[in-house]
Amino acid sequence: MSTATGFRWLVIPDENTAEPSRDLVGGKAWSLWRMRSLGLRVPPAFVVTTDACAAYFANGGLPEGLADELETGIRLLESQLGRTFGGTRRPLLVSVRSGAAISMPGMMDTILDLGCNDEVETALAAESGDPEFAAEVHRRFTGFYGRLVLGCTEDLEDLPDTASVRAAISADTGDSVPADPWAQLRSAVAAVFQSSRSRRAIAYRKHYGIPEDLGTAVTIQAMVFGNLDDDSGTGVLFTRNPVDGTREPYGEYLQRGQGEDVVSGRVTPKPLSDLESRWPSVHAELLAAAECLDREGRDAQDIEFTVQSGELFLLQSRAAKRTARAAVRIAVELVDEGVLQPDEALSRVTAEQIRTLLRPEIAAGAADGAEVLVSGVAASPGVATGVVVDTPEAAQANPGCILVRKSTSPDDVHGMIAAAAVVTEQGGATSHAAVVSRALDTPCIVGCGSGTVESLVGRVVTVDATTGNVYAGELPTSAVDESEDEDLRRLTEWAECRAPLQVGTAIAIEPIFDADTGSAGDLGEQLPEIPRGTKTVRGAVFCAPDGVRAALDAGVEAIVASHRLPVLLAAIAHQRRSA
């Protein structure tokens, strides 16, 4: 991508020019440049930069000159595709997507099919020969706009036609979707900017330590239609299994669907084998593109794609969110493949992920004979026990509970962060609930079927998100032994050679400071003060990252801990940041 002369707020796609700044164009647009530079098929697009987002909040509205530049960007798309925005013959529709510099999947808004109105619907019907398709595009766009731009709180998804969606929006907001495509575009860009300050985005940034002032770029891209005909569809492909890290494609495909259908969890898609059986050549092209992106990205990739009338289009590729188990397996395997050196592999796994992986699992035999209340797709592994609640607000008020929903949306994220596990009635392994739970490393089971919420709410249950079962009551658990897990053992060996201190159970370099022997009055929110000259520290507080940092800053040479790897990784991470 390059910033064409005269543009202040836009970046125009051009695969023949230098790599753009991810901070300026966001991760989504950066991935478009990368895919185009690799010769992969990507719908044309242009990008409104993060500078424009900052100016939007500074000025309280779209910055001066942006409206004119938006028109210029659209004209460029028109010239590339031979279509007209708002036209009555071969109309151009676009998607308007958020894209922060740091990936925040599911946190900010996307609007599809923008540019539709009554006249455009008629033109789409004439061009496609399918009035039902055109009507569905119009209905979907009206719902997107009403919900994300006008703030409609009604459930619009199941309304049968555009007229009923319009009526619901008007009744709820007193407003209506403008017929002018240019007005639609300007308001949509502002709405995406505004979504970067939504409650769910703020909660996500806080949870992951992402700067609060991180804005978003806006990618405006020509639409391709997965819902056009029986030879069309949409899907998500992970180049490596994001649950266990296995080196195999993992994903789902939905015939006659659009991308939001898969990620929202409202519809349960089919495995990628469904695409293979329908379109072997498209499936083969997709796998070849996935292999290319995995190799060039030097990491597992999460790829969104659409098939329109048998032609494959790639919409996004990013480093895949993954469970702790998958992070460990992928890091070790990339070393075995010669892609990474051990130093870099250690940077791909965090101390928190290892602690998650070492959490208890259901004890051998404990589930035999236990009552299975519901079953579904194991989307993010782990075990958790708690009382079931059915709203994100209840989850936030009762941390450690089990959040059960029909499906989840970005508005549920604050509750998902607080919950010990997430269970849904609908959705598949690439639904919103699944993807966000994997990012949070929270146990998650999806697609448990209708009636799950009603049957579970208020009960104490054990969620086994490795098998996909939800059991009645509390089951006993057991823990993973890091010394017996081959991937963990290898990571530990690499970490021991590179860590700035020793970690183990039998280390006793004098003098020793034991935080656990202090009086109750010495305990508080602050870390205990380490006496000058201490060489070894002991105590649970020194197994957490803050305690490891304090020990290193005090010149400590050894930490006594039963689990070595998380402490070693925290020490290496602190050393890296301090360098």
Domain regions of the chain by residue span: 1-223, 225-322, 361-478, 486-578
C-alpha atoms less than 13 angstroms from C-alpha of 104 in its C-beta half-sphere: 34
pLDDT at residue 188 in the model: 97
Question: Smallest Cα–Cα separation from 46: which of 76, 18, 16?
Answer: 76
For the residues 252-263, what does the mean pLDDT come to?
84
Q: For residue 3, what pLDDT band results from cuts at 50, 70 and 90?
A: very low
Task: Please give the single-letter amino acid code of residue 309.
Answer: S
Q: Mean pLDDT score of the chain, rounded to an integer?
A: 91
| Terminal-to-terminal C-alpha distance of the chain | 33
Maximum CA extent, the chain: 84
With a CB cutoff of 8 Å and minimum separation 6, the contacts of 420 are: 384, 385, 386, 399, 400, 401, 402, 442, 443, 463
**What single string gives the DSSP state of each residue in 504-561?**
ESS--PSSEEEGGGS-GGG-SSSPPPPPTT--EEESGGGGSHHHHHHHHHTT--EEE-
What is the per-residue pLDDT for 14?
A: 66
Span 309-325, pLDDT tens digits: 999 999 999 999 999 99
Protein fold of 1-223:
Dna Ligase; domain 1 (3.30.1490)
What's the rounded mean pLDDT across residues 196-220? 79
In the predicted structure, residue 208 carries a pLDDT above the cut 80: no
Q: How many CA atoms lie within 13 A of 326 on its CB side?
A: 28
> What are the tens digits of pLDDT across the range 51-84?
999 999 999 999 999 999 999 999 999 999 999 9
Confidence of residue 4 (pLDDT cuts 50, 70, 90): very low
Q: Return the amino acid letter for 408.
A: T
Whose structure tokens read 């051990």? 342
Q: Which residue has the tokens 């000259």?
A: 533
- Res. 101: pLDDT tops 80: no
Q: Count of residues for the chain? A: 579
DSSP state of 2: B
Confidence of residue 307 (pLDDT cuts 50, 70, 90): very high
Q: Please check the confidence at residue 457 and state whether its pLDDT lies above 60.
A: yes
Q: 26-30, 387-391, 479-483: which range is least confident on average? A: 479-483
pLDDT of residue 135: 98
477/481 Cα distance (integer angstroms):
13
Q: Tell me which H or E stretch contains 393.
A: helix 392-397
**Quick one: tokens of 263?**
């990620």
- pLDDT beyond 70 at 107: no
Residue 2: is its pLDDT beyond 50? no
Please tell me the class of the 361-478 domain: alpha beta
Place of tokens 């070894």: 536
- pLDDT score recorded for residue 104: 65
Q: What is the pLDDT of residue 270?
A: 92
> Taking 50 as the threshold, does the pLDDT of residue 283 lie above it?
yes
Higher pLDDT, 350 or 484: 350
Between 309 and 199, the more confident residue is 309
Q: What stretches of 388-526 show up as alpha helix (H) in DSSP?
A: 392-397, 413-418, 432-440, 452-456, 486-498
Amino acid, res. 338: G
For residue range 501-560, what is the model confidence (pLDDT) as tens digits?
Answer: 999 998 889 999 988 675 433 443 467 889 999 999 998 778 888 889 999 999 999 999
User: Strand pairing of 91-92 and 84-85?
Assistant: parallel
CATH of 225-322, one of 3.40.800.10, 1.20.190.20, 3.40.50.720, 3.30.470.20: 3.30.470.20
Average pLDDT over residues 210-224: 87
Q: What pLDDT does 186 receive? A: 98
